Amino acid sequence: MSHIVTMIPGDGVGPEIIEVAKACIAETGVDVQWDVQPAGMSAQQSRGALLPRQVIDSIRENRVALKGPLETPIGSGYRSVNVQLRKDLNLYACVRPCRYYPGIQTRIADPEAIDLVIIRENMEDMYTGIEFMEECGAETPLIDFLKQQQQGADLECDTGFSIKPISRRGSERVARFAFEYARAYGRKRISAVDKANIMKYSDGVFMRAAEKISADYPDIEFEHKLVDNMCMQLVQKPEQYEVLVMPNLYGDILSDLCAGLIGGLGVAPGANMGDSYAVFEPVHGTAPKYAGADRANPTAILLSSVLMLHHINESAAAQRLEKAVAAVIKEGIHVTRDLKSPDAAGQPTGTQAMGGAVRDKIQSL
């Protein structure tokens, strides 16, 4: 069967890793026609927009996309193209499996016991872009309003604000997604993570929504954890967790923490899911210092491709690709610098050469 999939090469190391993914998927024998759609800085240059209409139209038509990372300037400049894409396509759940592949160097005593999945709410929270700049001008309407409404909110005019909206509907939706995911993948336990002791009116909504939805799934054990405690638990006993569901910001941060447990951002895959569309992409960003240098680890995009192949019902190809990636990592010869053990023989390989080793392995499996 032939599949048409939207491909967004992305910025920074994006085009290099996506080339590897494309070649490795072709090697599995699955017939994928790629509808290549630039977004981000490359689209700004070629089409005059960071997120051209054609990108959204293409994903709406094909329903599936494989995406490289997109740049978002820090502290100022345009708002995130990633956030806009998720919003336009209603991709409300971000799924980030965290699994260790033998051969990778980590600081964890028993990394093979780690097998958890983060489900991050993907559309609300601090990512809605409702922000107010600090401004000591003649009028400070928000500060005046808060002074009237909130006891003790005596804020200076040099204060900036980022608003954190969390809705019952959005929280119930992602919580239900997490429970359905747990059932579908035979997971027995869900931990809802938030900071509802302090943010009673935003994280409190999330916590109550998760508790409410848990009542519909008596076959799955449910627990609630505060995010600060969860950070410590994940570092000390990551093997105790199966599925973690949480608001957007905590999901963003804990995804990187979990990537750190299993060997770094170079090996952490992800998927943005909604009811109609799915966009698969690594957890990592554009890694600007490696852009064009053939240095980026292609594992994260390859494991994202594995998730994508399962999603389009090409599970045999997905398994072959995953086995090939795992075998190359285990051998530790044709791997990028971040995976190279100090005592392993030979020099680290580049992005494309590691992709070549995975292709060879697919053939020999």
Nearer Cβ to ligand NAI (70/213): 70
> Minimal distance in Å, beta carbon 14 to ligand NAI?
8
| Cβ-contact 114, 98 below 8 angstroms | yes
- Minimum CB separation of residue 235 from ligand NAI in Å reads 18
**Interaction mask 224-263, ligand NAI, x per CB under 6 A:** ----------------------------------------
Interaction residues for ligand NAI, span 57-96 (CB under 6 A): 69-72, 82
Judged by CB under 6 A, does residue 300 bind ligand NAI?
yes
DSSP state of 51: S
Q: Tell me how many residues contact ligand NAI (CB under 6 A).
A: 20
Nearer to ligand NAI, 25 or 296 (CB): 296
Tell me the C-alpha distance between 262 and 234, whole Å: 11
Q: How far is the CB of 171 from ligand NAI (least distance, A)?
A: 22
Q: Which of 170, 266, 350, 355 binds ligand NAI (CB under 6 A)?
A: 266
Give the DSSP letter string of 242-289: SEEEE-HHHHHHHHHHHHHHHT-GGG-EEEEE-SS-EEEEESS---GG
Beta bridge pairs of residue 31: 2
Residue number with CB closer to ligand NAI (183 or 289): 289
Residue list 151-170, contact with ligand NAI (CB under 6 A): none
Measured between alpha carbons, how far apart are the two ends of the chain, in Å? 22
The residues that are catalytic are: 127, 195, 228, 252
Q: Position 319: which residue type?
A: Q
Smallest separation (angstroms) from ligand NAI to the CB of 285: 2
Whole-number Cα distances in Å, 206 to 124, 165, 175, 191, 242: 11, 10, 9, 12, 19
* Number of C-beta neighbours around residue 208 at 10 A: 15
Q: Where are the beta strands (DSSP E) in the chain?
A: 2-8, 31-36, 64-67, 93-99, 115-121, 131-132, 161-162, 189-194, 221-226, 243-246, 269-273, 278-282
One symbol per residue from 278 to 297: x for binding ligand NAI (CB under 6 A), - otherwise; what is it? ---x--xxxxxxx-----xx
Interface with ligand NAI by CB under 6 A: which residues?
13, 69-72, 82, 265-266, 281, 284-290, 296-297, 300, 338
